[in-house]
Chain A
Amino acid sequence: MKAITDIQEEIVNEFSLLDGDQEMTVLYIMELGQKLPPMEEAEKTEQNIVKGCQSTVWLTSKLDNGRVYFNADSNTAITKGLVSLLVRIFSGQTPDQILDANLTFMSKIGMDRFIGTQRSNGFAAMTKQIKMYALAYKTKMEVKS
């Protein structure tokens, strides 16, 4: 499993190829979203909806062998693309790695330019939800051991 900082660096490098072209960037984000594994309809529950997003975002997680795996879906293509970046960064990491992670890629790919204030809040809500899951799993693992 690659380190979170390395994955962020990869993302920054990929976006730099788009040369700041807004339309290409938006298309690329949507394309990333299309690559997420499909989410079962049964998993699209009220409970799995991330609170604080303007669009509907479902986020699921599971713990396997000490690592947390995420999947996500959204009713809007761009949001799905954005959340796919988080899935790529965090899925497969340990709870501690997730909790210690510092996300720096957003400003480096100029995310503030192509997502508005509303979506930025939504993005923060998704990150928070991911860390909440990690914390819950960490606690669970500690109780067991």
Chain B
Amino acid sequence: MKVSAITHLDIQKIRSEFPVLDQQVNGKPLVYLDNAATSQKPKRVIAKLKEYYEGYNANIHRGIHTLAETATKAYEATRESVRDFLGAAHVEEIIFTRGVTESINLVAATYGRSFLQKGDEIIIGTLEHHSNIVPWQMVCEEKEAVLKVIPVNDRGELDLKEYKQLLSSKTKIVATNHASNSLGTINPIKEIIELAHAQGAVVLIDGAQSAAHLPIDVKALDADFYCISSHKMYGPTGVGVLYGKKELLEKMPPYMGGGEMIKDVSFTKTTYNDLPYKFEAGTPNIADVVAFNEAIAFVNELGKENIHQHESELLAYATDKLSTIPGITLIGTAHHKVSVLSFIIEGIHHFDIGQMLDARGIAVRTGHHCTQPLMERFGIEGTVRASFAVYNTKEEIDSLVEGLKRVVNFLKQ
């Protein structure tokens, strides 16, 4: 990352692009700190959805009329933007899905089912979201393969020494997130991938929490599969991406059968379409894919370096301020983090904290964040999680701290 590239973002101007932020919740200005769950959408994304439905809604690829052509071009333009965004070599390596969950399931159900054999091993990390655990458990059960887990240290960082111990010639797949949704830990995925490749395993990276925050270059990382989600990076819900190396995608069987994914169908034999369409059965989520392009442009125009710089400042500020609250314990204190701050307060249930903050217009997430095994590792039921996006401000963190102090004062009096 070049320091010289960093410019100071005009956060107020950025905020004005997000209509949803300008409202009162429970009589207080909304403070939206649940960005790891989903980010808000800028006007240009919303406008694109409207433009699509009002201007050129049509089913793509097979129509020969003008609207179908316009819609197809817009849909495929997003695919090209995603290719560029991820640093992929070929546009046919970009598969549209409904989200990261579907992307992971697709790989587990096709690559996993086709190439795993009894006794083979899959390695995942303790930090995984349930969507990067359960699909692997399902395929392990079916193929009698074994799921192994990389432990974390008390800061919430993967133990690479243990990882090296787990790796062997039996390892066929390694799946881990780029950044943890619960703790914010940024994993050393380049090293994880290199080590896995040395054993001949393929690696899937869950990029749900990194796409909006960190630079991604699948070629430089040599990632075999990389999954991202539109709605966590200022785009519409219902769109995800599976990047896969062409040679891997080509040897994988289709995931779902139906229209779009076929070349020829007869009752005795069907031949499948080429990449990427082989994996895109049925009418896709055209409108949201088209609007996703605007979200990518939004992130690109701001610049990942600038976004990361601003969010790192927020994280440092929040970490510092929250540490002053009596009884607080931060869960996840990794050296490298995205802008996620998870914490518990002694003697106060996280639900109560969440509800009290909501009464003050502050949106945070409470619970296990779909990472129950990770919560178990820390011996807790759940946390309160504040997660920041590019539009958040230090004043909003001050509101969070003020709200937390009020909860503590009331419940510990």
Residues of A within 8 A of B (CB): 21-23, 25-27, 30, 54-55, 75-79, 114
Residues of B contacting A25 in the complex (Cβ-Cβ under 8 angstroms): 359
Which of B27, B348, B358, B359 is in CB contact (< 8 Å) with A77?
A: B348
Which of A21, A26, A54, A79 is in CB contact (< 8 Å) with B356?
A: A26
Q: Which of B356-394 contact A (CB under 8 A)?
A: 356, 358-360
A77 to B408 CA separation, bound complex (whole angstroms) = 12
Closest B residue to A113 using CB positions: B26
Residues of B contacting A54 in the complex (Cβ-Cβ under 8 angstroms): 351
Asked whether A21 and B27 contact (CB < 8 A) given A27-B410, A30-B410, the answer is yes
Asked whether A78 and B351 contact (CB < 8 A) given A25-B359, A114-B359, the answer is yes
Instruction: Find out whether the CB atom of A77 lies under 8 angstroms from the CB atom of B26.
Output: no
Asked whether A76 and B359 contact (CB < 8 A) given A22-B26, A27-B410, A30-B410, the answer is no
Asked whether A77 and B360 contact (CB < 8 A) given A21-B27, A30-B410, the answer is no
CB distance from B295 to the nearest CB of A (A): 28
| B250 contacts partner chain A, Cβ-Cβ < 8 Å | no
Asked whether A26 and B359 contact (CB < 8 A) given A21-B27, A77-B411, the answer is yes
A77 to B348 CA separation, bound complex (whole angstroms) = 8
Instruction: Find out whether the CB atom of A76 lies under 8 angstroms from the CB atom of B351.
Output: yes
A75 to B359 CA separation, bound complex (whole angstroms) = 20
Instruction: Find out whether the CB atom of B351 lies under 8 angstroms from the CB atom of A55.
Output: yes
Which of B27, B358, B360, B411 is in CB contact (< 8 Å) with A30?
A: B411
Interface pairs (18), CB distance under 8 Å: A21-B27, A22-B26, A22-B27, A22-B358, A23-B356, A23-B359, A23-B360, A26-B355, A26-B356, A27-B410, A75-B349, A76-B349, A76-B351, A77-B349, A78-B351, A78-B352, A78-B355, A114-B355
A126 to B349 CA separation, bound complex (whole angstroms) = 20
Residues of B within 8 A of A (CB): 26-27, 348-349, 351-352, 355-356, 358-360, 410-411
A107 to B348 CA separation, bound complex (whole angstroms) = 28
Residues of B contacting A21 in the complex (Cβ-Cβ under 8 angstroms): 27
Residues of B contacting A76 in the complex (Cβ-Cβ under 8 angstroms): 349, 351-352
Which of B352, B359, B410, B411 is in CB contact (< 8 Å) with A22?
A: B359
Residues of A contacting B358 in the complex (Cβ-Cβ under 8 angstroms): 22
The interface residues of chain A, by DSSP majority, are classed as helix
CB distance from B404 to the nearest CB of A (A): 13
A30 to B355 CA separation, bound complex (whole angstroms) = 11
A55 to B366 CA separation, bound complex (whole angstroms) = 12
CB distance from A10 to the nearest CB of B (A): 23
A75 to B349 CA separation, bound complex (whole angstroms) = 7
A114 to B27 CA separation, bound complex (whole angstroms) = 13
Instruction: Find out whether the CB atom of A79 lies under 8 angstroms from the CB atom of B351.
Output: yes
Residues of B contacting A77 in the complex (Cβ-Cβ under 8 angstroms): 348-349, 352, 411
| Additional A-B contacts beyond A25-B359, A77-B348, A114-B359 (8; CB < 8 A) | A22-B358, A23-B26, A23-B359, A54-B351, A75-B349, A77-B411, A78-B352, A79-B351
Residues of A contacting B360 in the complex (Cβ-Cβ under 8 angstroms): 22-23
A107 to B352 CA separation, bound complex (whole angstroms) = 21
Residues of A contacting B351 in the complex (Cβ-Cβ under 8 angstroms): 54-55, 76, 78-79
A87 to B358 CA separation, bound complex (whole angstroms) = 26
A76 to B367 CA separation, bound complex (whole angstroms) = 12
Residues of B contacting A22 in the complex (Cβ-Cβ under 8 angstroms): 26-27, 358-360
Closest B residue to A115 using CB positions: B355
A40 to B27 CA separation, bound complex (whole angstroms) = 39
Closest A residue to B25 using CB positions: A22
Residues of A contacting B352 in the complex (Cβ-Cβ under 8 angstroms): 30, 76-78
Residues of A contacting B411 in the complex (Cβ-Cβ under 8 angstroms): 30, 77
Residues of B contacting A114 in the complex (Cβ-Cβ under 8 angstroms): 355, 359
Closest B residue to A54 using CB positions: B351
CB distance from A6 to the nearest CB of B (A): 29
Residues of B contacting A26 in the complex (Cβ-Cβ under 8 angstroms): 355-356, 359
Residues of B contacting A30 in the complex (Cβ-Cβ under 8 angstroms): 352, 410-411
CB distance from B25 to the nearest CB of A (A): 9
A78 to B410 CA separation, bound complex (whole angstroms) = 12
Residues of A contacting B355 in the complex (Cβ-Cβ under 8 angstroms): 26, 78, 114
CB distance from A94 to the nearest CB of B (A): 34
CB distance from A32 to the nearest CB of B (A): 13
Residues of B contacting A27 in the complex (Cβ-Cβ under 8 angstroms): 356, 410
